[in-house]
A and B are shown apart, each in its own frame.
Chain A
Amino acid sequence: MGGTTLPGEAFLRANLPGYALIDPAQPTKLPLEARDFGIYVGFIFTWLYINAIGRGRAKGMPLFPMLLYLVIFVAVMGADGVNAFLYDLHQNAPVVPYLYAPRLELRLATGLLCGLAFGGIMTPVVNSTLWRDNDTRPVIGTWKQFLGGLGVMAVLFLMNYSEIGLFYWPLAIVTSGATVILIAMINMVFVLSISGKEGSAATWRDALNPFAVAVILALVELGVLSLMRYAVLGTTVLP
Chain B
Amino acid sequence: MVGIQRLKIAAWIAPAFLLALVAVFVVAPWSMTDKLQSVCFGI
Contact = CB atoms under 8 A, between A and B. Distances in A.
Please classify how large the interface on chain B is, using the bins under 10, 10 to 19, 20 to 34, 35 or more: 10 to 19
A176 B36 contact: yes
Interface in B1-43: 11, 13-15, 17-18, 21, 33, 35-43
Given A31-B36, A172-B33, A215-B21, A179 B43 contact: yes
Interface residues of A, number: 27
A106 interface: no
Main secondary structure of the interface of A (DSSP, over half): helix
A31 B14 contact: no
A209 interface: yes
Interface string A7-43: 0000000000000000000001101100010001000
B42 A175 contact: no
Contact of B38 (A205, A208, A226): A226
A225 B43 contact: yes
Given A205-B15, A212-B18, A173 B43 contact: no
A205 B18 CA distance: 12
Contacts of B37: 29, 31
A28 B43 contact: no
A10 B37 CA distance: 27
A224 B38 CA distance: 12
Given A208-B14, A212-B14, A222 B36 contact: no
Nearest to B21: A215
A180 B13 CA distance: 19
Nearest to B35: A176
A118 interface: no
Contacts of B41: 222, 225-226, 229-230
Interface of A: 28-29, 31-32, 36, 40, 172-173, 175-176, 179-180, 205, 208-209, 211-212, 215, 222-230
Interface of B: 11, 13-15, 17-18, 21, 33, 35-43
